[in-house]
Amino acid sequence: MLYKSTRDSGDARFTSAEVIKRGIADDGGLYVPENIPALGRDEIEKLRRMPYSERAAFILSKFLDDYSYDELLADSTAAYRAESFPGGPAPLARLDDRLFSLELWHGPTAAFKDMALQLMPRLLTRALKKTGEYRTVHILVATSGDTGKAALEGFKDIEQTRITVFYPESGVSLVQKRQMATQTGENVIVCAVRGNFDDCQNGVKRLFSDTELAAELDRRGFFLSSANSINWGRLVPQIVYYVSAYCDLLNIGALGAGDEFCVCVPTGNFGNILAGYFAGLMGIPIKKLICASNLNNVLTDFLRRGIYDRNRTFHKTISPSMDILISSNLERLLYYVAGAEKTRKYTAELGKTGCYQISGEEKDKISEQFIGYYADETETAATIRGIFETYGYLCDTHTAVAFSCAEKYRQETGDNGIITVVSTASPYKFAGDVYRALTGKDSAGEFEALDQLYGYTGAPVPYPLAGIGSRPVRFTASVDKEKMKQYILGM
Ligand X SMILES: *Cc1c(COP(=O)(O)O)cnc(C)c1O
Q: Which residues bind ligand X (CB under 6 A)?
A: 111-113, 146, 229, 266-272, 321-322, 398, 424-425
Contact 123, 75 (CB under 8 A): yes
Give the residue from 110, 99, 50, 40 showing the smallest Cα distance to 77.
50
Minimum CB separation of residue 399 from ligand X in Å reads 8
Determine the residue type at 59: I
Burial class (CB in 10 A: 0-12, 13-18, 19+), 377: middle
Q: What is the 3-state secondary structure (H, E, C) of 76-89?
A: HHHHCCCCCCCCCC
- Grouping H, G, I as helix, E, B as strand and the rest as coil, residue 270 is coil
Dihedral sign of CA atoms 214, 217, 221, 223 in order = negative
Minimum CB separation of residue 402 from ligand X in Å reads 9
Give the residue from 246, 164, 170 showing the smallest Cα distance to 208.
164
Minimum CB separation of residue 165 from ligand X in Å reads 15
Minimum CB separation of residue 117 from ligand X in Å reads 11
CA 404 to each of CA 4, 215, 398: distance values in angstroms, whole numbers, following the listed order:
37, 51, 10
Minimum CB separation of residue 4 from ligand X in Å reads 22
Burial class (CB in 10 A: 0-12, 13-18, 19+), 248: buried
Give the residue from 139, 169, 171 showing the smallest Cα distance to 155.
139
Contact 339, 40 (CB under 8 A): no
DSSP code, position 178: H
Minimum CB separation of residue 320 from ligand X in Å reads 9
Other C-beta atoms closer than 10 Å to the C-beta of 6 total 24
DSSP code, position 471: S
Contact 223, 162 (CB under 8 A): no
- Known catalytic residues are 113
Minimum CB separation of residue 480 from ligand X in Å reads 29
Minimum CB separation of residue 417 from ligand X in Å reads 23
> Treating both helix axes as pointing N-terminal to C-terminal, what angle do 232-251 and 120-130 enclose, rounded to 10 degrees?
130
When the beta carbons of 16 and 327 are compared against ligand X, the nearer one is 327
Angle at 302 between CA 240 and CA 336, to 5 degrees: 50
Minimum CB separation of residue 271 from ligand X in Å reads 3
When the beta carbons of 6 and 269 are compared against ligand X, the nearer one is 269
When the beta carbons of 118 and 321 are compared against ligand X, the nearer one is 321
Angle at 299 between CA 298 and CA 305, to 5 degrees: 90
When the beta carbons of 179 and 267 are compared against ligand X, the nearer one is 267
Contact 430, 396 (CB under 8 A): yes
Determine the residue type at 396: D
When the beta carbons of 126 and 429 are compared against ligand X, the nearer one is 429
Q: Collect all residues with Cβ–Cβ distance below 8 Å to 34 and sequence separation of at least 6.
A: 1, 2, 3, 4, 13
Q: Collect all residues with Cβ–Cβ distance below 8 Å to 312 and sequence separation of at least 6.
A: 298, 325
- Grouping H, G, I as helix, E, B as strand and the rest as coil, residue 436 is helix
Strand stretches in 117-196, DSSP E: 136-142, 161-168, 188-194
When the beta carbons of 145 and 203 are compared against ligand X, the nearer one is 145
Give the residue from 276, 320, 327 showing the smallest Cα distance to 298.
327
